[in-house]
Structure 1
Amino acid sequence: MSDDAMTTAPAGYESLPLGYGFTDNLKPLYRKADGEGVEFGIIVGPQHSNTMGICHGGALMTLADIAAASWANMARGKIAGAPTINLSMDFISAAKQGQWIETRQEGVELKRLFGFARGVIRNERGVVARFNATFYFPDHPGMSQDGLVKPVTLQGLLEDDKPA
């Protein structure tokens, strides 16, 4: 680990529980929700790293996909399945084991059946990666195997989802 290794997430971030399928591969995954929106972060660990000891591009892509889909759903104001149509990423610098990395939203646009989100992943030294994503908002319930959409990363954040 580097000299600037972290062992806990920054204030305001909460750990998301296990049980959300592929998202569990980023565990521990943290979320911060406030009036500005929702952001996600991880402390880069061995499970996120490649053989060079830096955060694997696949882990960065997964973090970007989770964040961008969440932003698009938040902009829509409802939790729904949003399959990724495209996700592009520019890898700018490395994130080392022990470093905190987090997403930052730069923009979201919505069309009738599509959502577009862009953002960056940052560490204390600056931008690690920037990304653009496109999501499909199906107008039918047939996208999930059981017909149910699980709220996963947005659970408890949207008004329709909050317990009474």
Structure 2
Amino acid sequence: MTHVPAGFQRLPEGLGFTDNLQPIYRLVEGDGASFGIIVGAHHCNTMGMCHGGALMTLADITAATGANLAHGVITGSPTVHLNIDFISGARQGEWLHAVAEQVTAKRRFGFCSGGIYNGERTIARFSGTVYFPEHDARRAGAEAGDGVILPTEND
């Protein structure tokens, strides 16, 4: 698939390290979060496959956003653990989307597991733990904080 599925909206630039995945797309429905990319040359390694670092970044923002949605607070939530199992490869031009599938929010920590898919094919499985700080972890001028990409009031 080389097009963005209905419902996904492109994220703005200026999101720090996440901009390395641009263009990146988000779909938030209720308490569910998905992020997707069309694999570009800048996402690929020297073998022409989507680089593991790009897949880990996609998993990281999906896990953090899923945990924050469950927690109900828009703030920066540092990742304290991220595990990923690479199952299949993805080539340039393929649509990939990461889905937060099982999410639990406690008082100070959020836990999320999910997958990265290309259609019916599983590319990777991930699990992550994020920390919910007691203070407002947003940097000055940021709406969603570093590493947290939630809907804005305009969405």
Q: Report the alpha carbon displacement of residue 109 of structure 1 after superposing the two structures with TM.
A: 1.1
Q: Which has the larger radius of gyration?
A: 1
After superposition, give the CA deviation of every residue in 1:95-118 in whole Å (9 maximum; x if it has no partner).
Answer: 111000001222011221100000
Return structure 1 stretches of 4+ with deviation > 3 angstroms.
143-146
Change (3 A) 1:138 1:42: same
Question: Which amino acid counterpart does residue 64 of structure 1 have in structure 2?
Answer: A
Q: Indicate whether 1:56 and 2:57 are aligned.
A: no
Q: CA RMSD, aligned part only?
A: 1.7
Q: Report the alpha carbon displacement of residue 54 of structure 1 after superposing the two structures with TM.
A: 0.6
Q: Partner of 2:64 in structure 1? A: 69
Q: Partner of 1:150 in structure 2? A: 143
Cα distance in 1 for residues equivalent to 2:52 and 2:16: 19
Q: Report the alpha carbon displacement of residue 149 of structure 1 after superposing the two structures with TM.
A: 5.3
Gaps of 5+ in 1: 157-161
Q: Report the alpha carbon displacement of residue 36 of structure 1 after superposing the two structures with TM.
A: 5.7
Cα distance in 2 for residues equivalent to 1:99 and 1:132: 23
Q: Aligned residue pairs: how many?
A: 151
Q: Report the alpha carbon displacement of residue 32 of structure 1 after superposing the two structures with TM.
A: 1.3
**Local SS of the residue matching 1:54:** coil
Q: Is the 8 A contact 2:28 2:151 kept in 1?
A: no
Taking structure 1 as the reference length, the TM-score comes to 0.85
Cα distance in 2 for residues equivalent to 1:104 and 1:70: 10
Q: How does 1:20-99 map to 2 (within 5 A)?
A: 20-35=15-30, 37-99=32-94
Gaps of 5+ in 2: none
Q: Report the alpha carbon displacement of residue 83 of structure 1 after superposing the two structures with TM.
A: 0.2
Taking structure 2 as the reference length, the TM-score comes to 0.90
Q: Report the alpha carbon displacement of residue 145 of structure 1 after superposing the two structures with TM.
A: 5.6
Cα distance in 1 for residues equivalent to 2:76 and 2:119: 33
Paired-residue identity, %: 52
